[in-house]
Amino acid sequence: MKNSILSLLQATTLDVQTVAKGWVRHKRSSQNVSFVTLNDGSTIKTLQIVADADKFAEELKRIHTGACLEVHGKLIASQGAGQSVELVAEKIIVLGEANPEHYPLQPKEHTLEFLRENAHLRARGNTFSAVFRVRHALGYAIHKYFNDNGFYYWHSPIITASDAEGAGEMFQVTALDLKNLPKDDKGNIDFKQDFFGRPTNLTVSGQLEGELGAMGLGKVYTFGPTFRAENSNTTRHLAEFWMIEPEMAFYDIHDNMDLVEDFLRYLIKYALDNCADDLEFLDQRFLKEESKKKKEEQAEMSLVEKLRFVVENQFERLTYTEAINILLNSNYHKKKKFLFEVKWGIDLQSEHERYLVEKHFKKPVILTNYPKAIKAFYMKQNENEEAGKETVRAMDVLFPGIGEIVGGSQREEVYERLKARTDEMHITEELSWYLDTRRFGTAPHSGFGLGFERLVLFVTGMGNIRDVIPFPRTPLNASF
Ligand code: ATP
Ligand code: MN
């Protein structure tokens, strides 16, 4: 009774009684017999049910796209082309009808926007079920990679009192009655009366807590939900996304780069090896989408070709300063094709990152040694640099079509240097628990953050990050 359609399609013993359960994708009737294709999510493929038109006249009237069926019968070698086995029905139980007048999913293509608004259908269609199977496989591969390489899964908190990025784009967490806020003597909100006795927020990163883990367990990683109240309505930003953040004692920036490259290539290879059917489907979809674009904007490789390319080729490594020089000397710059100004010190815009990756190097790129002024306080400061040109050992990984997929760095492990930065930002007191790691047995260490949805976006070839997470949260959108 526990047969999945995947296992039935792979069955080697035929002509045996079996049961299949799933949702109807399509029904086609000829004079004496109806063919019903069934899918249960275990594979992108469908099982064909052959039902005698007379025997199942009543049932067939109730069977339409979307209905849920339990079919008992015999699995036989298929007569028709396109499938190896089919199930000849002996008993059909309609578990759930889907009235065709009201069921919104019909055997035709639906826009992704439409499917985003109809949450109950997202898992049903080919595109989303393929995306979510790949998402699952990548999640599993992440845990496997770290487990096999001596990392511990370290759970950083979701509610925190610190702002790791210092960007202040946080969702506040409170149990106070917003209609009746307690005030202190000065008339400010009295957070002492709040649940935690202080202001708290949803985490924007588990890194700082990750560093505490690494300073005893050696190599740890977090993999959990992350929240940013940034109002960026782009195809690459979500308000709630999942982040993977490894943190390693005794790793310098070069070890960090070696790890991130090995990790990303492993994950993509894992998907190629384990999600072939889904990737083949997504590859076709990708080609169809690309063909709608202007010739010069079309991708040069198919999805699967692109994934293989990343697995087989080393990433390009260069410094921020080298990247700026490439941009300054580019034809794009000379022809004024960049919207944002290029000069040393800027935070690279998506158009700059994409130029480097897609036009110049045509492969993933790791950029290091960014200006200190545009990066987080915890990054290791390079020494003996020209005034005004100070850099930190940051490391961003840029991917074609995505831009930044990973942000990381070697961390500043020298107490005095780190404290000078937290003093500047007036966060020394708040972060005393973090600074303690540098006071007692400090060690060189590094880490990075991989946005899970950006990885899934890359591997599935989808165009919008909202379509690679089951329930996307974006500005003005938190339904379901
Ligand atoms: P970006 O510049 O693209 O907004 P960031 O510099 O804010 O990203 P980091 O703070 O370095 O990002 O976070 C690490 C990783 O988390 C990023 O490389 C990216 O993969 C992912 N990420 C960051 N913000 C988002 C978001 N709003 N939605 C989805 N993924 C995100
Ligand atoms: Mn970043």
pLDDT at 119: 77
**Which segment of 1-5, 124-128, 223-227 scores lowest on mean pLDDT?**
1-5
pLDDT at 7: 95
Query: SS3 helix, strand, coil % of the chain, rounded to 5?
Result: 35, 25, 40
pLDDT at 181: 96
Alpha-carbon span 418 to 428, nearest angstrom: 9
* Residue 420 in this model has a pLDDT that exceeds 60: yes
Which residue, judged by its Cα, is nearest atom 9 of ligand 1? 407
239-272 pLDDT per residue, tens: 999 999 999 999 999 999 999 999 999 999 999 9
Question: 299 CA to middle of ligand 2, Å?
Answer: 25
Q: How confident is the model at residue 373 (pLDDT cuts 50, 70, 90)?
A: very high
Alpha-carbon span 3 to 18, nearest angstrom: 8
- For the residues of 390-433, what is the DSSP string, one character each? -EEEEEEEEETTTEEEEEEEEB---HHHHHHHHHHTT-TTTTHH
Q: What ligand 1 atom has the least distance to the C-alpha of 347?
A: 2
pLDDT at 255: 98
Question: 222 CA to middle of ligand 1, Å?
Answer: 15
Which residue, judged by its Cα, is nearest atom 2 of ligand 1? 404
Q: How confident is the model at residue 163 (pLDDT cuts 50, 70, 90)?
A: low
Residue 314: HSE in the Cβ half-sphere, 13 Å Cα cutoff:
6
Question: 405 CA to middle of ligand 2, Å?
Answer: 8
Question: 115 CA to middle of ligand 1, Å?
Answer: 25
Q: What ligand 1 atom has the least distance to the C-alpha of 204?
A: 10
Q: What ligand 1 atom has the least distance to the C-alpha of 239?
A: 27
Which residues are 146's β-sheet partners?
none
pLDDT at 259: 98
* Residue 474 in this model has a pLDDT that exceeds 90: yes
In this structure, the residues whose C-beta lies within 6 A of any atom of ligand 1 are 165, 228, 230, 237-238, 241, 243, 404-407, 449, 451, 453-454
What value does the mean pLDDT take over residues 118-122? 79
Best residue among 454, 464, 465, 474 to mutate for probing ligand 1, ranked by most atoms within 8 Å of CB = 454
Q: Token digits for 127?
A: 């595109």
Best residue among 233, 235, 243, 395 to mutate for probing ligand 1, ranked by most atoms within 8 Å of CB = 243
24-41 pLDDT per residue, tens: 999 999 889 999 999 999
Question: 407 CA to middle of ligand 1, Å?
Answer: 7
pLDDT at 165: 61
Q: Please, where are the H alpha helices in 275-408?
A: 276-291, 303-312, 320-328, 331-334, 350-354
C-alpha distances out from residue 33 to 27, 28, 29, 77, 216, Å: 11, 9, 6, 17, 67
276-323 pLDDT per residue, tens: 999 999 999 999 999 999 988 888 899 999 999 999 999 999 999 999
Position with higher pLDDT, 297 vs 376:
376
Q: How confident is the model at residue 81 (pLDDT cuts 50, 70, 90)?
A: confident
Identify whether the C-beta of residue 141 lies closer than 8 Å to the C-beta of residue 271: yes
Question: 282 CA to middle of ligand 2, Å?
Answer: 28
Nearest ligand to residue 397 Cα: 1
Q: Return mean pLDDT, the chain.
A: 94
Position with higher pLDDT, 103 vs 221:
221
**Which segment of 78-92, 205-219, 452-466 scores lowest on mean pLDDT?**
78-92
Nearest ligand to residue 205 Cα: 1
Question: 445 CA to middle of ligand 2, Å?
Answer: 18
Domains of the chain (ranges, CATH numbers): 5-107 (2.40.50.140), 124-169+204-467 (3.30.930.10)
Q: Of 312, 406, 306, 409, whose CA–CA distance to 365 is shortest? A: 406
* Residue 129 in this model has a pLDDT that exceeds 80: yes
Cα of first residue to Cα of last residue in the chain, in angstroms, is 32
Three-state DSSP class for 248? strand
pLDDT at 110: 76
Alpha-carbon span 64 to 97, nearest angstrom: 8
* Residue 71 in this model has a pLDDT that exceeds 60: yes
Question: 394 CA to middle of ligand 2, Å?
Answer: 9
Identify whether the C-beta of residue 238 lies closer than 8 Å to the C-beta of residue 465: yes
Which residue, judged by its Cα, is nearest atom 26 of ligand 1? 237
* Residue 109 in this model has a pLDDT that exceeds 80: no
Position with higher pLDDT, 457 vs 298:
457
Question: 468 CA to middle of ligand 2, Å?
Answer: 20
Nearest ligand to residue 405 Cα: 1
Q: What is the DSSP letter of 453?
A: H
Q: How confident is the model at residue 107 (pLDDT cuts 50, 70, 90)?
A: low
Identify whether the C-beta of residue 371 lies closer than 8 Å to the C-beta of residue 320: yes
Question: 62 CA to middle of ligand 2, Å?
Answer: 53
Alpha-carbon span 286 to 304, nearest angstrom: 10
Q: How confident is the model at residue 472 (pLDDT cuts 50, 70, 90)?
A: very high
Which residue, judged by its Cα, is nearest atom 25 of ligand 1? 237
Q: What protein residues have CB closer than 5 angstroms to ion ligand 2?
A: 407
Alpha-carbon span 135 to 275, nearest angstrom: 10
Q: How confident is the model at residue 1 (pLDDT cuts 50, 70, 90)?
A: very low
Q: How confident is the model at residue 166 (pLDDT cuts 50, 70, 90)?
A: low
Nearest ligand to residue 165 Cα: 1
Best residue among 404, 464, 465, 467 to mutate for probing ligand 1, ranked by most atoms within 8 Å of CB = 404
pLDDT at 120: 77
